[in-house]
Structure 1
Amino acid sequence: MKNRFLRSLGLSVLISIFLSAGAVGQNRQGPDPELIAKRHAIEKELNDIAVVDRKVMVPMRDGKRMAADIYRPKDASKQYPIIFSRTPYNFNFWDVRLGAPRDMTSIIDAIKRGYAYVVMNERGHFFSEGNYDILGPPTTDGDDALTWMSSQPWSNKKVGTIGCSSTAEWQMGVAARGNPAFTTMIAQGFGAGVGRVGPYYEQGNWYRGGAVQMLFIAWLYGEQNQVRPMFPANTSQADLIRGSKLFDLSEQAPSVDWSKALRHLPEMDIIKAVDGPNGVFADEMPNITGGAMIRRTPNDAAWYKGGLFHDNMKINIPGFWFMSWYDVSVGPNLATYNHVRKT
């Protein structure tokens, strides 16, 4: 039995080595020319049907500017409703690793259906200015973006939001502000945007029963980026577009064995122990909540200064809500949905 096991193990190792060598060989090949050609064809189609305005720096009330890419139908005789996606993630129009445009199919679909499409990075990420905090606070940033979009001559003054996870979770807090341009929302997997609702004090899934849920520690390692490269404030739009084909400003954090790293004590030093960057997890930060999330209690006043939605707020616009039974926060999600229905 033991010898048979060893023979099987040896065979498995040989197969693994062979497959790994094949994978390395594949990785050494250049980018897929068919995929590159397809992406360029999609980009051409987009430019054929849309006005494309990239790296637009949209001003906020405190003077900071958020980077947006704007796409709208070419017929200038009409005004259009806007699909708005605001995200902390990389939406750079150029895939710098592939050396070709990213896939714009969903934007083309929106344009063909008579919508303008605006995608914007949250404060403190990629080409957007300011200091990062979870959910892109202050919520006035979302308010200012909505007001700016609705004031454009090509806009019909109606904006709907769409997104999943971090691209959804800010929507409720901004919707509660009551901006007249905010007409509908599609929030998918929105649990980390739920603060205090009913019996739940999870504060964006940060807690479960008063204890910190550690999954977000690993996530913040790659998201908090107090130290980051930035283009000078006076960089022209044309140069930002050229520059974004060379640098997408995406953080490439070293890999970490979190099965071991999350065992470090004290908990507040987990990211520091893997030589991660300073940021909102453990450090005081110059943003609206002050950072230092790990030092807070479940009802700390800082949780009510950021982008979370709480049950002292109301949402009075229609929404299409998506959630999963196997999400980390189905209880608070359902409580939020029912709260919004009742109020």
Structure 2
Amino acid sequence: MKTRLACCLLAAAVTAASAAPAQDLSRYSDEGLRAELAGIADAETAVLVPMRDGKGLSTNIWRPKGASGKLPVVLWKTPYDEHVPAGGTARYALEAVRRGYAFIVQNERGRYFSQGTYEILGRPQTDGYDTLSWIAAQPWSNGKVGTLGCSSSAEWQLALAGMNHPAHAAMVPMAAGAGIGKVGRFLEQGNFYTGGVPRTLFGVWLYGVDNPLRAELPQDLNGPMRARVARYNSLDADKPDVDWKTHVRRLPYAELLSSLGEPPGTFESLIARGPADPAWKTGGLYHDDMGWGVPALWFNSWYDVSIGPNMALYNHARTVASDREASANQYVVVGPNPHCQFARLSEDYKVGERAMGDARFPVDQQLWAFFDRWLKGKPAAFPDGTAHVRYFTMGANRWQSDAEWPPKAARTLRMYLRSGGRANSMFGDGRLAADAPPAGEAKDSYRYDPRNPVQTIGGGDCCNGGLVTAGAFDQRQISARNDVLVYDSEPLQAPMEVSGFVDAVLKVSSSARDTDFAVKLVDVAPDGTAWIVGDTIQRARYRDSYTAPAPMQPGQVYTIRPTPITTSIQFGKGHRIRVEVTSSNFPKFARNLNTGGPNETESTPVVADNAIHHDADNASYIELPVVGG
């Protein structure tokens, strides 16, 4: 009954969305989009919107040509060069104006034509708040603003939502994980860390975005002249190309950018912090003690960089009591795609190398229906009966819906890591079993050498200069390594859906004072293809506390609880569930050099002999949220 009801709810939502006017803009060139927009919109370019400290943020405004009444407004805020609209920004601007909205694109502080000094996430609690106040006060505004964007254009929305600005009527954040500091079990400080391990994507991304010595227009340049200059000067820095696959191996890691000759900037400031440094609370990140005040339609994806924090924040926003109407109107859509690739979902979709079948979803229709409800006062556009959670189950290759996440019907299945002491590689004797281990079962040992780390192949990632391609890829060349422990279930006698948060509990020991433990969930097909489903990692020094890291004592057994893997996957009949454990996942995560010292400023690694224990007193296991069966 649950499945049939979920299908009906999803179908009803899709039907309602399809009733909105559809405009296929996918085949338009950027020039064509701009020409269409110029034909139907009155535009203002490079307007300096004043902030409370006197700085101005450069803002482009498009309104339906000749509009006389007050308009709902959609705001797109960005650190990128989007003054001349192109791609998705141009399509959204054109669609917004066609639907009777004003559409605004604003550059973050310190970027391109905006004044001030750049700060990652762009001061959402001050600059974002002041921008909303300015929009609400304009004679053409109806006082209701919806915020929209993917990745950087979504992340700043989160801390702003905690402010509950009276004009912030709705938000559609897509792939917004880098805006989350701490939520529930996840303390990632904007994806800078996972389990206390730095993610390399941030160094690469900041190389392209952070320009401490940037070129600027004269501060006193008048509005018309700024607008004219903006037409033929992008102020876009063209930095030298970097071979990141080679350069990321350079040590110490803290010199990733300075070793290229870059001036000190944001990366150096952030890498000097620990995961629990109080300085993380002073920037633009959202933390779960900030409240929540805005109805939201979230778009997330299974192979994104931070699907776990994203889903945890969605759950948090539904339960915060600071604004009950906002909490009651949180909705999420989760696709099988990597970061920000919602527009690519198709009837013959592949994520990485794995076919997902028909993964189409009416993304644009739904977001405009959501805005129509909250910015235009049309409740029928996005009905109350819309399912709060709509998610794509991989393997089964179908969309489902539920009232909550994890799905209400999910039950926990614990499966133990077992072996005869030789789980090394997929050719070993590791197994994943429902029966707990007996006393005296032998541990599994492996040697981790930071100079020969286990390679990242697929999984969730983004924005990394080509270091990692996100998605589902075959892991067999990784599973064949002797420094990877592999635990397989028996072939399943019937399909098994796993939807929710997958937790791992490991009993570990090491010869080193500190090391990492990386966990991977894999779907092994009958032909042996081993599709990565998701992964996680934990730095041992932070096993009990991020505020009080503690070294390991050689040979002593400790408990490691990495943050969960978050997914919806159907393991098919005849498939095996595989768990892999090792101590590196590089280049996605920076290597632990095993010294126990200030890892990011060190250059000389040591080899660690690590072990996973699984006996009656020290059982290691995973817990799967199983639906049905």
TM bin (shorter chain): 0.7 to 0.9
Provide the C-alpha distance between the structure 1 equivalents of 2:209 and 2:228, rounded to a whole number of angstroms. 25
Does the CA-based 8 Å contact 1:93-1:102 persist in structure 2? no
Report the CA distance between 1:316 and its aligned residue. 2.2
Report the CA distance between 1:155 and its aligned residue. 0.2
1:157 aligns with 2:134: no
Report the CA distance between 1:238 and its aligned residue. 2.1
1:315 matched residue in structure 2: 292
Runs of 4+ with >4 A deviation: 37-42
Which amino acid in structure 1 is aligned with residue 223 of structure 2? Q
Provide the C-alpha distance between the structure 2 equivalents of 1:41 and 1:260, rounded to a whole number of angstroms. 40
Provide the C-alpha distance between the structure 2 equivalents of 1:339 and 1:138, rounded to a whole number of angstroms. 20
1:92 aligns with 2:83: yes
Task: Tell me the secondary structure at the aligned position of residue 108 of structure 1.
Answer: helix
Q: How does 1:185-334 map to 2 (within 5 A)?
A: 185-282=171-268, 292-334=269-311
Report the CA distance between 1:168 and its aligned residue. 0.3
Provide the C-alpha distance between the structure 1 equivalents of 2:191 and 2:156, rounded to a whole number of angstroms. 14
Structure 1 residues 260 and 303: alpha-carbon distance in aligned structure 2, compared to 1, 3 A threshold: same
2:155 matched residue in structure 1: 169
1:71 aligns with 2:57: no
Task: Tell me the secondary structure at the aligned position of residue 131 of structure 2.
Answer: helix
Report the CA distance between 1:329 and its aligned residue. 1.1
Provide the C-alpha distance between the structure 1 equivalents of 2:89 and 2:312, rounded to a whole number of angstroms. 36
Does the CA-based 8 Å contact 1:224-1:278 persist in structure 2? no
Report the CA distance between 1:172 and its aligned residue. 0.8
Structure 1 residues 103 and 306: alpha-carbon distance in aligned structure 2, compared to 1, 3 A threshold: closer
Provide the C-alpha distance between the structure 2 equivalents of 1:103 and 1:211, rounded to a whole number of angstroms. 34
Q: When the two structures are superposed, what TM-score results if normalisation uses the length of structure 2?
A: 0.45
Which amino acid in structure 1 is aligned with residue 61 of structure 2? I
Report the CA distance between 1:110 and its aligned residue. 1.0
Provide the C-alpha distance between the structure 1 equivalents of 2:302 and 2:295, rounded to a whole number of angstroms. 22
Which amino acid in structure 2 is aligned with residue 231 of structure 1? L
The range that moved more, 253-262 or 177-186, is 253-262
Mark the runs of 5 or more structure 2 residues left unpaired by the alignment.
1-27, 321-629
1:339 aligns with 2:330: no
Does the CA-based 8 Å contact 1:176-1:313 persist in structure 2? yes
Structure having greater relative contact order (Cα 8 Å, sep ≥ 6):
1
1:144 matched residue in structure 2: 130
| Aligned mate of 2:166, from 159, 171, 180 | 180
The range that moved more, 59-68 or 311-320, is 311-320
Provide the C-alpha distance between the structure 1 equivalents of 2:33 and 2:312, rounded to a whole number of angstroms. 42
Provide the C-alpha distance between the structure 1 equivalents of 2:33 and 2:313, rounded to a whole number of angstroms. 39
Does the CA-based 8 Å contact 1:146-1:159 persist in structure 2? yes
Q: Which is richer in strand?
A: 2
1:48 aligns with 2:35: no
Q: When the two structures are superposed, what TM-score results if normalisation uses the length of structure 1?
A: 0.81
Which amino acid in structure 2 is aligned with residue 271 of structure 1? L
Q: How big is the alpha-carbon RMSD for the aligned residues of Structure 1 and Structure 2?
A: 2.0
Q: Which is richer in helix?
A: 1
| Higher radius of gyration, 1 or 2 | 2
Q: How does 1:24-35 map to 2 (within 5 A)?
A: none
CA deviations 1:33-83 (Å, max 9, x no partner) are xxxx97566444433322211110001001111000001123443000000
1:26 matched residue in structure 2: none
1:30 matched residue in structure 2: none
CA deviations 1:223-258 (Å, max 9, x no partner) are 111111111011122222222232101121111111
Mark the runs of 5 or more structure 1 residues left unpaired by the alignment.
1-36, 96-100, 283-291
The range that moved more, 152-161 or 267-276, is 267-276
Does the CA-based 8 Å contact 2:47-2:227 persist in structure 1? no
Does the CA-based 8 Å contact 1:225-1:278 persist in structure 2? no
Which amino acid in structure 1 is aligned with residue 121 of structure 2? L
1:59 matched residue in structure 2: 50
1:114 aligns with 2:100: yes
Structure 1 residues 102 and 318: alpha-carbon distance in aligned structure 2, compared to 1, 3 A threshold: closer
Report the CA distance between 1:178 and its aligned residue. 1.1
CA deviations 1:152-184 (Å, max 9, x no partner) are 000000000000001100101011111100000
1:10 matched residue in structure 2: none
Task: Tell me the secondary structure at the aligned position of residue 299 of structure 1.
Answer: coil
| Aligned mate of 1:131, from 103, 113, 117 | 117
Report the CA distance between 1:299 and its aligned residue. 1.1
Does the CA-based 8 Å contact 2:34-2:85 persist in structure 1? no
CA deviations 1:307-329 (Å, max 9, x no partner) are 11111022222111011111111
Provide the C-alpha distance between the structure 1 equivalents of 2:89 and 2:198, rounded to a whole number of angstroms. 37
Task: Tell me the secondary structure at the aligned position of residue 297 of structure 2.
Answer: strand
